[in-house]
């Protein structure tokens, strides 16, 4: 056996001491794979992942599992690229499903690389960083499930599905194992951290009224630009701080910097950091028939419109016409740190076209303030990662707020519309598929209402607070006004599934629809107290106190 250079010995000792610093003995002690895997959803699959020679500690098992996930995802991407070769003859809807899978697998490669580089030589993470990694690992599972759902929607030939389902299923199990081991090793000892460098406050004040009025503090130079394009005095204060890196205007008449929103987004710099300020896009009043995507490299964009029903972004893609639910959205957000203010987002496909998304949001640390989301089935796709909505209006029918983000809606209006004959309205369809995911939908101090068309229909359609889209669906309504449109049972099953594993809760709601005496008697349904409700507040559920101040959007951290 060759001798090891002294310098390598020093490095090994250094990494070993770094890895075990401040680690509880029970976690740093080697443990057999059988014992480790019994704490996961897939113990047999888990055991097949690890060598059975020398047992590792919990951290080593997790790192190994994540590295295996990277290899698995890379192979999966190669399979998708094979089927998407120009020489391959596939229907348009199959190509769209495969493109969904390629996008999602690419995001997973990013998330896995970020995670392993973060935890590779440490067992101790501050609260926000620990939550960051749990969020990424949770999103990986969501992305894999979404790929599967897109393939299910497409009428793809058997050979495509058969060749992809097995690696997709194995990859999902591997990701579930990684998340379970990560939670066991890192999450239990998260410590509250200070807001990290690079997340300083950019605006000292921002207030938006329903009339579209806006007050921002920014540099004199940016103030002059913004006032000149908004054609009215919107800015009330002046500051010498540099809060925005640039401001551009979208105006179809050619008087701004760009005539389309997509051109303005394309001009934004790539992969910016929040400490450099927002790239601010002001979209003047008008109806924009565009399909807009804020790509993953377009970070920290703030988009401000002239007001609800003044600046309108609209489209009509839908599942009936051959789009997957995932790519039917009029407006798509992936880039981290996105903020939207004073904009209406629409999908006008109508109820007969079934799934037709207005906004799909898979952007971490994203915020929508004083915006409106209008469609019928599947209006707002809160797909993944951490999101916040404040003083927004959301209109829809079936599952019209759905997805698997960690999301809080605060001071919003949720309007059930009149669905097709024979349909019931579902306010939410939350898609948590693994008990270790830190995801769920929290609805706080909102108004649950009927839109005028439903209100005038004499109660022809039943309306429920939600139904479980996936096995560990999690939704909480708290401190909200629930009008009489809600059926006394409150919640509706998804073909009778998931009643034991879901988590649905209500706390301190008011209004004629808030009476819980006739609610469902499912094992997973709860009427909770303030202590439990606090878990789903902005400060605890999405750690909003660490990132929302930079947006200057108002929020309440607790109950």
Residues with a known catalytic role: 399
Residue 128, token pair as written in the block: 């926000």
Bridge-based pairing of strands 244-250 and 278-283 is parallel
Q: Strand locations in 411-554, DSSP E?
A: 413-416, 425-426, 428-430, 440-444, 447-450, 463-464, 474-478, 481-482, 503-507, 525-527
Q: Find residue 365's DSSP bridge partners.
A: none
Nearest to 448 by CA among 412, 492, 400, 498: 412
Bridge-based pairing of strands 413-416 and 386-390 is unpaired
N- to C-terminal Cα separation, the chain: 63
Nearest to 133 by CA among 143, 118, 154: 118
Under DSSP, is residue 9 helix (H, G, I), strand (E, B) or coil? Answer: helix
Nearest to 49 by CA among 30, 73, 69: 69
Contact 363, 386 (CB under 8 A): no
Residue 184, token pair as written in the block: 């066991």
DSSP single-letter state for residue 509? -
Report how far residue 543's alpha carbon sits from residue 228's, in angstroms, rounded to the nearest whole number: 37
Under DSSP, is residue 534 helix (H, G, I), strand (E, B) or coil? Answer: helix
Residue 315, token pair as written in the block: 């489209």
Helix (H) or strand (E) holding 136: helix 127-153
Count of residues for the chain? Answer: 559
Q: Find residue 475's DSSP bridge partners.
A: 441, 504
Report how far residue 425's alpha carbon sits from residue 467's, in angstroms, rounded to the nearest whole number: 10
Residue 31's Cβ-count burial label (10 Å; 0-12, 13-18, 19+) is: middle
DSSP single-letter state for residue 188? G
Report how far residue 221's alpha carbon sits from residue 519's, in angstroms, rounded to the nearest whole number: 57
């Amino acid at each position: 056996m060759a001798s090891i250079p002294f310098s390598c010995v020093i490095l090994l000792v250094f990494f070993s001491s770094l890895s075990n610093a401040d680690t509880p003995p029970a976690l740093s002690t080697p443990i057999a794979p059988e014992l480790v895997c019994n704490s996961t959803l897939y113990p047999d699959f888990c055991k097949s992942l690890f060598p059975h020679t020398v047992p590792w500690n919990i951290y080593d098992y997790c790192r190994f599992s994540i590295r295996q996930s990277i290899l698995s995802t890379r192979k999966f991407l190669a399979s998708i690229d094979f089927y998407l070769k120009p020489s391959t003859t596939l229907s348009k809807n199959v190509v769209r499903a495969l493109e969904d899978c390629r996008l999602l697998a690419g995001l997973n490669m990013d998330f896995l690389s970020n995670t392993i580089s973060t935890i590779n030589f440490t067992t101790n993470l501050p609260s926000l960083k620990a939550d960051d990694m749990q969020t990424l690992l949770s999103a990986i599972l969501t992305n894999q499930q979404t790929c599967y759902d897109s393939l299910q929607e497409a009428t793809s030939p058997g050979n495509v599905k058969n060749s992809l389902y097995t690696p997709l299923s194995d990859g999902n199990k591997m990701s579930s194992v990684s998340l379970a081991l990560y939670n066991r090793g890192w999450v239990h000892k998260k410590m509250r951290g200070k807001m990290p460098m690079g997340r300083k406050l950019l605006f000292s004040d921002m207030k938006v009224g329903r009339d579209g009025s806006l007050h921002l503090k920014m540099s004199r130079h940016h103030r002059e630009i913004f006032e000149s394009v908004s054609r009215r005095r919107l800015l009330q204060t002046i500051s010498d701080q540099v809060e925005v890196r640039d401001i551009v205007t979208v105006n179809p008449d050619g008087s701004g910097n760009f005539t389309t929103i997509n051109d303005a987004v394309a001009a934004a710099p790539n992969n910016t950091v929040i400490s450099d300020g927002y790239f601010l896009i002001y979209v003047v009043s008008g109806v924009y028939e565009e399909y807009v995507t804020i790509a993953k490299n377009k970070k920290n964009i703030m988009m401000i419109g002239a007001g609800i029903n003044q600046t309108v972004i609209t489209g009509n893609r839908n599942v009936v016409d051959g789009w997957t639910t995932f790519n039917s959205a009029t407006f798509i957000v992936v880039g981290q740190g996105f903020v939207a203010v004073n904009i209406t987002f629409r999908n006008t496909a109508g109820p007969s076209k079934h799934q037709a998304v207005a906004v799909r949001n898979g952007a971490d640390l994203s915020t929508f303030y004083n915006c409106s989301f209008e469609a019928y089935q599947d209006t707002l796709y809160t797909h993944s990662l951490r999101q916040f909505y404040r003083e927004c209006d959301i209109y829809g029918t079936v599952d019209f707020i759905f997805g698997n983000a960690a999301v809080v809606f605060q001071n919003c209006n949720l309007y059930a519309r009149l669905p097709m004959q024979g349909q019931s309205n579902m306010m939410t369809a939350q898609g948590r598929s693994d008990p270790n995911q830190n995801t769920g939908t929290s609805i706080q101090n909102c108004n649950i209402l009927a839109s005028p068309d439903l209100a005038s229909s004499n109660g022809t359609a039943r309306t429920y607070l939600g139904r479980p889209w996936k096995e560990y669906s999690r939704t909480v309504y708290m401190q909200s006004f629930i009008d009489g449109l809600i059926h006394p049972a409150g919640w509706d099953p998804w073909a009778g599934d998931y009643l034991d594993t879901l988590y649905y809760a209500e706390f301190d709601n008011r209004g004629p629809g808030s009476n819980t005496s006739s609610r469902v008697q499912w094992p997973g349904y709860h009427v909770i107290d303030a202590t439990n409700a606090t878990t789903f507040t902005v400060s605890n559920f999405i750690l909003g106190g660490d990132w929302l101040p930079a947006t200057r959007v108002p929020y309440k951290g607790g109950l």
